[in-house]
Amino acid sequence: MDSRDRSSEWFVPAFGPPRFRTFVGLLFLPYTGMVLAYVAIGSMLAGTIHWDRLTALLAIYFLALGIGAHALDAIGGAGAKPWGKVFSRTQLWILAAAAIVTAYAIGAYYMTLHVPLLWPIAIAEGFFVFAYNLEWFKGRFHTDRWFALSWGALPVLAGYVMQTNGVSLAALVVAASMGLLSLVEIKASRPYKELKRTGAAAGAEHAHTLEAILRCVSGGVLLLGIGMTAWRWLG
């Protein structure tokens, strides 16, 4: 097996043909779910909830991050991080382009008519989609802190801005909090990925501990997002 193959990781289904399993793995669903939860958490801080805007922003982040950014990450700065050989670089580029263009088409509608303040966040996130995942500028933006900002704090702010076309102190504080949780995730994810890549028996126990951290952090954030959304929906 290619040492870069990630099909044995905990978020990849153990059933189905290789192409299906690889595509699901490519989405990094627990981590994508965290970002979608951040969007919901930020949205639920608003006084009035526009549910169509929440739905649209969830779709935007799922497309741009869940599909687009992760397809670019599979390509990597020098093509060094493929998911085996199931998808070619051309297929990954097509997948990324289609997802990102669709996401920005949805976003442009709302930003033009309702939430112009979302433009700065959309531009910043668009930059990080490429700069982080393709490791532009010699990987300067492919760091834990930029990860925490781009896929932790900014989605919370995006959720709040999408609802209010404004920014509040509460939203900034919660965004910082979720950014720190994203920092925990990435700090555990990097050594976990390396241990899985090497397959060293000596690191199996440590990998198990890191996996438990990743499961708990992602699951906890997801439940928080669902709980806050249910509270506002049913309240």
- Give the range among 10-14, 83-87, 116-120, 146-150 with minimum mean pLDDT: 83-87
Q: Is the pLDDT of residue 79 over 70?
A: no
Position 77 pLDDT exceeds 70: no
pLDDT greater than 60 at residue 18 = yes
Mean pLDDT of the chain: 91
Predicted confidence (pLDDT) at residue 69 exceeds the cutoff of 60 = yes
Q: Name all domains of the chain by residue range, CATH numbers in brackets.
A: 18-234 (1.10.600)
Q: How far apart are CA 92 and CA 74, in angstroms?
A: 8
Q: How far apart are CA 12 and CA 152, in angstroms?
A: 23
pLDDT at 1: 41
In whole angstroms, what is the distance from residue 96 CA to residue 221 CA?
26
Backbone torsions φ then ψ of 181, nearest 5 degrees: -65, -35
pTM above 0.85, yes or no: yes
Q: Mean pLDDT across the stretch 66-84?
A: 76
The answer for 221, left when phi > 0, alpha when psi is -120 to 50, beta otherwise, is alpha
pLDDT at 128 (0 to 100): 96
Q: Given pLDDT bands bounded at 50, 70 and 90, which one contains residue 235?
A: confident
Who contacts 153 (Cβ-Cβ below 8 Å, separation ≥6)?
Answer: 175, 176, 178, 179, 182
The residue type of 231 is: W
Residue 85 pLDDT exceeds 50: yes
Q: What are the tens digits of pLDDT across the range 169-211?
A: 999 999 999 999 999 999 999 898 888 777 666 678 888 999 9
Q: Is the pLDDT of residue 144 over 60?
A: yes
Which position has the higher pLDDT, 221 or 6?
221
Q: pLDDT-based confidence at 49, cuts 50/70/90?
A: very high
